[in-house]
Amino acid sequence: MLDYTTIRELVNQAQAQGVTIGRLALADQAEQCESPAQALVQRMRQDLEVMQAAARDGAERELRSTSGLTGGDAWRMRDYLARGGALCGPVGARAVAIALAVAEYNAAMGRIVAAPTAGSCGILPGAVLALLEQGLADADAAVDGLFCAGAVGMVIANRASISGAEGGCQAECGSASAMAAAALVQMRGGSPEMVENAVAIAIKNQLGLVCDPVAGLVEVPCIKRNAGGVTNALTAADMALAGIRSVIPADEVIQAMREVGESIPCSLRETAQGGLAATPTGKRIREQLFGRPV
């Protein structure tokens, strides 16, 4: 039975059994939950459907968050993509549009899949659904990719953190980006070792990212960081699929993320006391929404 404390264990076990990391995690979860594997697959398909619904409903032109601070950017991105000429291409631009939509839907109190958190909920759907929509993978591959992403997320949660309050936004968007990169590699037929390299590259690219929500809301800059996170995942996945290796192994990168998170000051760990939350505009927004602090 897997203990989900190292990426290397996932890779070794998958290679030894000749299966994907997603299939490995599915079999292990079925054993742990004493549930038929097909039942778990069906539950994951339902999660995929929730992601698809959030991507659709979150892209409505008139959608606004409860605070009124955010909404409508997913629609703008989708409209821009429809006009053609997006610099990051149809897959990248669509992934960004979906990530924005799901994150904006979360801010509007819509139903989402926390993957691994609500604040980073757009990254994994952005990656997986973009491939589905562009015909680069089918639903079975998407479900397998989500099981792979879940296994990676469990390792990160056990070895470091997925909480912005504990480790900064690197622990939320960074972890989600690593999970998405892993899913992308697996969905495109990459090896377990390529998954490992994608995870390492994705986290390295967001190492040290602080959590500084303006007015304490999971909106600014969180929503746009979801767009950045999915772009990072695509980049990491492409590099891994090209055969590019991370010099620092994934497990050491995750350990470094934990140590960096522990060194980030409290003001930059979801307290809205520093970073963008402490800018003149950030303070003005806080006062407009909640009044002057006492």
The alpha carbon dihedral of 158, 43, 126, 61 has a sign of negative
Q: For the segment 151-205, what is each residue's pLDDT rounded down to a tens digit?
A: 999 999 999 999 999 999 999 999 999 999 999 999 999 999 999 999 999 999 9
Q: Are 223 and 107 in contact (CB under 8 A)?
A: yes
Residue 2 lies in a domain: no
Total domains, the chain: 1
| Amino acid symbol at 240 | A
> Does 221 sit behind a cis peptide bond, omega within 30 degrees of 0 on the bond before it?
yes
Helix and strand tally (H, E) in the chain?
A: 13, 0
Confidence at residue 169, expressed as pLDDT on a 0 to 100 scale: 98
Residue 204 lies in a domain: yes
Residue 1 lies in a domain: no
Q: Are 141 and 98 in contact (CB under 8 A)?
A: no
pTM of whole model > 0.95?
Answer: yes
Distance CA 224, CA 239 (A): 23
- Domain of 100, in residue numbers: 7-290
Q: What is the CATH number of the domain that holds 55?
A: 1.10.4100
- The 10 Å Cβ neighbour count of residue 135 is 7
Q: For the segment 199-249, what is each residue's pLDDT rounded down to a tens digit?
A: 999 999 999 999 999 999 999 999 999 999 999 999 999 999 999 999 999
